[in-house]
Chains A and B, each alone.
Chain A
Amino acid sequence: MEREAMEFDVVIVGGGPAGLAAAIRLKQLATEHGHELSVCVLEKGSEIGAHTLSGAVFEPRALDELLPDWKTLGAPLNTPVTEDRFLFLTEKRAFRLPTPPPMHNHGNYIVSLGNVCRWLAQQAEALGVDIYPGFAAAEVLYHPDGSVKGVATGDMGRTKAGEEGANFAPGMELHARQTIFAEGCRGSLTKTLFERFQLRSGVDPQVYGIGIKELWEVKPDQHLEGLVSHTIGWPVDQATYGGSFLYHLENNLVAVGYVLGLNYSNPYLSPFDEMQRFKTHPAIRETFSGGRRVSYGARAISAGGFQSIPKLTFPGGMLVGDTAGFLNLPKIKGSHTAMKSGMTAAEAVFELLRVDDKIGREAVDYPHRLKNSWLWDELYRVRNIKPAFHWGLWVALGYGALDTLVLRGKAPWTFRHTPDHTSLKPAAQCKPIDYPKPDGQLTFDKLSSVFLSNTNHEENQPCHLTLKDAGVPVRLNLAVYAGPEQRYCPAGVYEFVEESGQQSLRINAQNCVHCKTCDIKDPSQNIDWVTPEGGGGPNYPNM
């Protein structure tokens, strides 16, 4: 099919912290060296920030390097952290634990990462970056020599059946000398790049968590601006990796969230319901009394850390941010590393493009630079913390203390990861979990939650949650695992329904909040998440 094409020096896929930091750094270098450089950022959300979801406690280390005068530029880092609390919960009680060193947040800020991205986008545009929200990069393009040529945006206006509708507009090709993939955790194009360029050979599989977040407006007497509170323990058992966050932002806003390792084994577990249940704890629920929930969302995060970092470059392009997996799990922070990787990639790309015009070159200097940066050191030191949770919470906490305080991350061993989709046990070996019914005040059902994420997709388009084998959901997932997709999806996308005595899987793709959990957790990796029409998905404000 003939598509129009546009040419850029650099195309960046994804307008999150990594992609925008890369764009800004590229333009800074171009200006510094008096070099013409065209940089384009594609973002599948309807606007920058629409799909950005994070806690978030923000460590300004990378931002300090990128835009040292961020304060005068009006960056929305409005709430310095004033206090850290770390609690262990049992069903009825809460015990204050010493805050582990990586979770000390002095000097950090509680932010809406979406708003930080909105601001970064303004800085990028002021430097001359072309930013196109509402356009999803749907396909990687290759030169005949196999190097990456750029990306193509998805077609708009295809019908459910895949035919060209009345307003059909074909996708566009965006050609670039270098393409930077900054798709965020479990990028759909990154997945194809892993395979094509064997980027994961010799590294551990990536492992993931799902973060579910709500934003609340609480009563002023429940609000402690600057307070950062984390919990472990209840409601999950000690074999399950999970914990909560509670951040008090400005204007009586409180971000509450629950992060759960996707290596859980009980197919009856529902991360969404664990999150709802968490809020009912006696030490927690008071915060929300008399308040109102104003937003909701969910997103997977890469938790594998150091040993799961793939090969980062290939001819014509590279990976930055969480699609590569630079999250520091013990810190539960990844924005600063995402930004740093974007900036480092930008520096390598700029050097490369300055030298010659050859297409399809590989920015091998990027991983080299990264290895000499604080990012690498930071991730190396904490590499054994998450895998230690394999032995359960208490051992992991003990090991974490030993590793952090005594060994200082320099242990001569490295623990390995196994992929999350292999961890489910057959339902027959597990106990169903009886979650309390939502009360509509403190706890809610999935659909009224998705409602607050402002999620929408044009209805008449092909389903973007594709199944490799349509028979697998009933034959395997339902029969063996009691249909876990009904529970791990935090947006109610997957439903088993009975029609004339036959079970079938209904996919309510319109509800999808683009968290990517299904693509990760499906036991036989039968679900392939591909980009829907640009602009679809959540419209998170202040998340």
Chain B
Amino acid sequence: MGALVIAEHNNVMLNIATLNAVAAASKLGSVDILVAGHECQAVADAAAQVMGVSKVLLADAGHYAHGLAENLAPLVVQLAAGYSHLLVAATSNGKNVMPRIAALLDVAQLSDIISVVSEDTFVRPIYAGNVLATVQSIDRVKAITVRTTGFDPVAATGGSAAIEKVPPGPDAGLSSFKGEELTKSSRPELAAADIIVSGGRGVGSAENFAIIEKLADTLGAAVGASRAAVDAGYVPNDYQVGQTGKVVAPQLYVAVGISGAIQHLAGMKDSKVIVAINKDEEAPIFQVADYGLVGDLFKEVPALIDALSK
């Protein structure tokens, strides 16, 4: 009995979050990937390359184009018989579909796991990450969503899985896709960004915040801020990362001119890698930063932008 990972994709490209889910699945046994979509052969081909994948199941039909849970869930339920574990990355699509699958299978779901203890026991954050729960499932099939920061992605290449076509199920006719407005700006949404650059009171003024934005654009990152910077009026409230703002967990968090008050740390401590740039070497932010750079941000940030642009 192996694990089936539901691929996250846009019919053209395999979303790399899938590689984190495969990493979690690899700890549980052999891994198959389901690519359900429309005209998505390229995705299946990419999935077949993923390290450690045994088989790619390809279900191609118009009503799978947008990952609608009403259509996708019955398909997975039908395929589930051969698997002990069903996994998907905890993206908005993954979170949307997996509980529906679990309910149809009459099994519980384990949400947002960050580590695998054994084949039936997992660790997942609860209470906004303030508590880590180790949870054991008694169900035959474990339905799981995987928090991507919990697992290093497996290599996207090096595998050579066979691709097997599976017959699509019917269109449930319950829902239809109308459109999508992806955020136009090159800058991603704070809550979903892989990289975030945040500025604090050390930035000094609203005008100076441009330097933070420039670094963010260089990294393709979202822009965040500490409450001190928001309170000081440098940026609007919705930039705020922290206990009373957004709780984020990107791959890379760059804190610039942020002292690291606990309210701020509460909002970003689950980031995979934290970088701090601050002139005060005693600043608490350095106690959580993987890489700390002590220096004047008005000198270091432009230098960093330069170095990154090379």
Asked if A and B form a direct contact in the complex, defined as CB atoms under 8 angstroms apart, the reply is yes
Chain A residues in the interface with B (C-beta under 8 A): 445, 447-448, 451, 456, 459-460, 497, 499, 506, 508, 510
Tell yes or no: B266 within 8 A of A by CB. yes
- Residue of B227, B244, B261, B284 contacting most chain A CB atoms (<10 Å): B261
CB-defined A-B contacts under 8 Å, sample of 22: A445-B284, A447-B261, A447-B262, A447-B263, A448-B261, A448-B262, A451-B262, A451-B263, A451-B266, A456-B244, A459-B237, A459-B244, A460-B237, A497-B201, A499-B204, A499-B205, A506-B231, A506-B232, A508-B231, A510-B227, A510-B231, A510-B244
B204 cross-chain contacts in A, Cβ below 8 A: 499
Contacts of B227 in A (CB 8 A): 510
Chain A residues near B237 (CB, 8 Å)? Answer: 459-460
Is B26 among interface residues, defined by CB-CB distance under 8 A?
no
The docked-state distance in angstroms from the alpha carbon of A26 to that of B232 is: 48
**C-alpha gap A460/B238 in the complex (Å):** 12
Q: Which residues of B contact A (CB under 8 A)?
A: 201, 204-205, 227, 231-232, 237, 243-244, 261-263, 266, 284
Name the residue of chain A whose CB is nearest to the CB of B232. A506
Q: Cβ of B231: which chain A residues have Cβ within 8 Å of it?
A: 506, 508, 510
Chain A residues closer than 8 Å to B284, beta-carbon distance: 445
Nearest Cβ in chain B — how far from A179, in angstroms?
34
Report the separation of the CA atoms of residues A447 and B243 in the bound assembly, to the nearest whole angstrom: 12
A508 CA / B228 CA spacing, docked (Å): 9
Residues of A contacting B205 in the complex (Cβ-Cβ under 8 angstroms): 499
Residue pair A451, B243 in contact (C-beta under 8 Å): yes
In whole angstroms, how far apart are the Cα atoms of A451 and B262 in the complex?
Answer: 7
Whose C-beta in chain B lies nearest to the C-beta of A448? B262
Please measure, in the bound complex, the distance between the C-alpha atom of A459 and the C-alpha atom of B201, giving whole angstroms. Answer: 17
User: Chain B residues near A456 (CB, 8 Å)?
Assistant: 244
Nearest CB in chain A: distance from B131 CB, A: 14
| Ranked 9 nearest A-B pairs via Cβ | A448-B262, A447-B261, A451-B262, A447-B262, A451-B263, A456-B244, A459-B237, A508-B231, A447-B263
Q: In the complex, which residues of chain B have a beta carbon less than 8 angstroms from the beta carbon of A445?
A: 284
Q: How far is the CB of B59 from chain A (nearest CB, A)?
A: 45
Q: Whose C-beta in chain B lies nearest to the C-beta of A492?
A: B261
Report the bound CA distance from A508 to B237 in whole Å: 15
- 8 extra A-B contacts, CB within 8 A, seeds A447-B263, A510-B244: A445-B284, A451-B262, A451-B266, A459-B244, A460-B237, A497-B201, A499-B205, A510-B231
A230 CA to B262 CA in the complex, in Å?
31
Residues of B within 8 A of A497 (CB): 201
Docked CA distance A456–B266 (Å): 14
Q: How far is the CB of B199 from chain A (nearest CB, A)?
A: 15
CB-based nearest A residue for B233: A160
Q: Closest CB of chain B to A494's CB: distance in Å?
A: 13
**Least CB distance, B56 to chain A, in whole angstroms:** 48
User: Across the two chains, which residue of chain B brings its CB closest to A451?
Assistant: B262
In the bound complex, how far is the Cα of B201 from the Cα of A497, in angstroms?
A: 10
CA distance A451 to B244 in the complex (A): 11
How far is B266's CA from A330's CA once the two chains are assembled, in angstroms?
41
For A448, what are the chain B residues with a Cβ–Cβ distance below 8 Å? 261-262
Query: Taking CB as reference atom, which chain A residue is nearest B260?
Result: A447
Query: What's the Cα separation between A499 and B262 when bound, in Å?
Result: 24
A447, A456, A460 — which one has the most chain B CB atoms within 10 A of its CB? A447
Q: In the complex, A499→B231 CA distance in Å?
A: 14
Closest to B231 in A: A508
A510 to B263, CA, bound (A): 12
Once bound together, how far apart are the Cα atoms of A508 and B231, in whole Å?
8
> B272: shortest Cβ distance to chain A, in Å?
23
Residues in A neighbouring B266, C-beta threshold 8 A? 451
Complex alpha-carbon distance, A180 and B237, angstroms: 39
What are the residues of chain B within 8 A of A510 when measuring CB–CB?
Answer: 227, 231, 244
A506–B201 Cα distance when bound, in Å, is 12
A456 to B227, CA, bound (A): 13
Q: Which residues of B contact A447 (CB under 8 A)?
A: 261-263
**What is the minimal beta-carbon distance from B255 to any residue of chain A, in angstroms?**
16
Chain B residues, Cβ within 8 Å of A508 = 231
Chain A residue with the shortest CB-CB distance to B227: A510
For B232, the chain A residues whose CB sits under 8 A away are: 506
Chain B residues with CB under 8 Å of A460's CB are 237
Task: Across the interface, name the chain A residue whose C-beta is closest to B263.
Answer: A451
User: For residue A497, which residue of chain B has the nearest CB?
Assistant: B201
CA distance A506 to B227 in the complex (A): 13
Chain B residues in 8 Å Cβ range of A506 = 231-232
Q: Taking the nearest CB of chain A, how far is it from the CB of B129, in angstroms?
A: 14
Q: List the A side residues contacting B243 at CB < 8 Å.
A: 451
A445 vs B237: C-alpha distance when bound (angstroms): 25
Question: Which residue of chain B lies nearest to A511 when distances are taken between CB atoms in the complex?
Answer: B263
Q: How far is the CA of A19 from the CA of B69 in the complex (A)?
A: 54
Q: How far is the CA of A510 from the CA of B230 in the complex (A)?
A: 12
Q: What's the least CB distance linking B236 to chain A, in Å? A: 11
B204, B232, B263, B266 pick with most chain A CB within 10 angstroms: B263
Instruction: Give min CB distance, A490 to chain B, whole Å.
Output: 16
> In the assembly, what is the distance between CA of A320 and CA of B244, in Å?
36
Q: How far is the CB of A512 from chain B (nearest CB, A)?
A: 13
Cα of A152 to Cα of B173 in the assembled complex, Å: 55
Task: Please give the distance in Å from A60's CB to the nearest CB on chain B.
Answer: 36
* A459-B266 Cα distance, complex, nearest whole Å: 18
Residues of A within 8 A of B262 (CB): 447-448, 451
Bound Cα distance from A506 to B244, whole angstroms: 19
Nearest A residue to B243 by beta-carbon distance? A451
- B244 nearest in chain A by CB position: A456
Measured between C-beta atoms, what is the minimum distance from B111 to chain A in Å? Answer: 25
Q: How far is the CA of A497 from the CA of B227 in the complex (A)?
A: 15
A445-B204 Cα distance, complex, nearest whole Å: 23
- Shortest distance between the CB of B180 and any CB in chain A (Å): 27
A506 and B237 CA atoms in complex are apart in Å by 17
CA distance A497 to B232 in the complex (A): 10
A451 to chain B, nearest CB (A): 5
Chain A residues with Cβ below 8 Å from B244 are 456, 459, 510
Cα distance, A170 to B237, chains bound together (Å): 24
Complex Cα gap A508–B229 (Å): 12
Q: In angstroms, how far is the closest chain B Cβ from the Cβ of A475?
A: 22
A190 to B238, CA, bound (A): 38
Tell me the minimal C-beta distance from B227 to chain A in angstroms: 8
Q: Which residue of chain B is the closest to A507 with respect to CB atoms?
A: B231
Shortest Cβ gap from A127 to chain B (Å):
36
Q: Which residue of A lies closest to B237 (CB)?
A: A459
Measured CB to CB, the nearest residue on chain A to B240 is A459
- Least CB separation from A456: chain B residue: B244
